[in-house]
Amino acid sequence: MTLADIQAAAGLVTPVRHQLFIDGRFVDAESGETLATLNPHDNSTIAQVALAGKADVDKAVAAAKRAFPAWSRMAAADRGRILLKLADLIEANTEELARLESLDTGHPIRDSRRLDVPRTAACFRYFGGMADKFQGETIPVEAGFLNYTLREPVGVVGQIVPWNFPLMFTSWKMAPALAAGNCIVMKPSEITPLSSLKIAELMAEAGMPPGVVNMLPGLGSVAGQYIAEHPDIAKIAFTGSTATGRRIVQASAGNLKKVQLELGGKGPNIVFEDANLQAAVNGSAWAIFHNQGQACIAGSRLMLHEKIADAFLDKFVPLAQSIRLGNPLDDATEMGPLTSALHQDRVLAYVDIACEQGGEVLAGGRAPGGDLAAGCYVEPTIVRARSSRDRIAQEEVFGPFVTVLTFKDEAEATEIANGTDYGLGSGLWTGNLQRAHRMARDLHAGMVWINSYKRVNPGSPFGGVGQSGYGREMGFDAMREYTQVKSVWVNIDAQIPPHFAR
């Protein structure tokens, strides 16, 4: 099938962008290199996407540097208006964006329409509104002086995002950076670049000046590494694995650029004996099986009070087994494929690891056959671990794979929950208000959900502690991440300072 045939079959009505976006134009890579982006439903080729190298990064950084003076000095309200126009265009192109995202990533179309596209628009809209509301402070210093602070953009920002939520990550990363007056060189994953390139196209339509945003699909080991090292990039913001995050920090040392990291997670999802059992069952399924479990905040450690563990699993296992797997472009599909064959193999390998360490597979643990055999599918998988120190209870699987553990009391639940190096998302289900607040205080995590899981909002800070990284996405905290403080002192009495006066 030709690209046009694939596009028509997927219900796409505008050309699929597959070049780099530099200085306001779509261009081929300097090397001419391309890489196939695949449909994970059947591993067919969607498009050959340009692959950025060092020369392309240099061009993009130069374009961003040229654009920075005018963009950073533009009235904040005018920058905000461009982001608000972009949000409107995203909503106007909901169906196109949703289909493109589902085709490229495997997200079920129902989720792409209902969650990914609306959340992307909402984030650009939130920061479009914040652009002219982020302000400095005046500080009461000694008499005769006025001291105030300015919040200034850091300059050219490098942003590297993974393949699991490429559409939403364009807004999480770019919206606060742009609202604050920075220019951007972004590297979307070479595995799932199509929705990011579509957003670049819509940005140009919204009136974004050339060079302010540059979009460079490329290999992490080439383009990503060079972005992290580049001497003219003032900050690097990265979402991805903890191992890659460490390499980003090392690479950033050349010019001491600011670093913001949102890394892995091994989220504890704790169900106490007094929880609303059905709500906890439904919420726990969402916590791990949404987007095929490919989320850093997934509730991948299901911790059950020993008194209700059997009753919970009697409901949870059949629910997991009832989830409808299928073509992500089918409205009836509840869970699509994993995003790549390589990742499918990695997730299935953890089933073998679990069995080797004495784990018990309660559901799934296989790739389905039949019509789905050609794709990257994995059945919803539930494994009871022998110990909280087992690999499946410590390492991030990043798939529809949940590890079941039990605990006897609140103290043991806290110990198990905090017993990994990660500290991103966490959740608990209880009817005890005091316990809920105690656990929220004691859990080693950047986010805690009580009687819910995986809630996000543009106004609420998102990020982790420990090996889950540092810095925050979204909210006022994100604007702080993309600005630096300048302190200004004014001698308002115009007196000559007494020191060394003649």
Active site residues: 262, 296
Q: How far is residue 96's CA from residue 14's CA, in Å, rounded to a whole number?
A: 8
Here the tokens at position 174 are: 């770019």
Angle at 360 between CA 356 and CA 366, to 5 degrees: 85
Taken in order 283, 285, 288, 291, is the CA torsion positive or negative? negative
b/e map 400-411, b = 16+ CB within 10 Å:
bbbbbbbbeebe
Q: What is the DSSP string of 95-156?
A: HHHHHHHHHHH---HHHIIIIIHHHHHHHHHHHHHHTTT----EE--STTEEEEEEEEE-SE
Conformation bin of residue 246: beta by default, left when phi > 0, alpha when psi is -120 to 50: alpha
Composition of the chain by helix, strand, coil, percent to 5: 40, 20, 40
What is the C-alpha to C-alpha distance for residues 387 and 407, in angstroms, rounded to an integer? 11
Length of the chain in residues, anyone? 502
Burial class (CB in 10 A: 0-12, 13-18, 19+), 5: exposed
Q: Which two tokens stand for residue 121?
A: 């628009």
Residues 6+ apart with CB under 8 A from 351: 361, 365, 366, 381, 383, 401
Phi, psi of 465 (to 5 degrees): -130, 175
Count CB neighbours of 62 within 10 A: 17
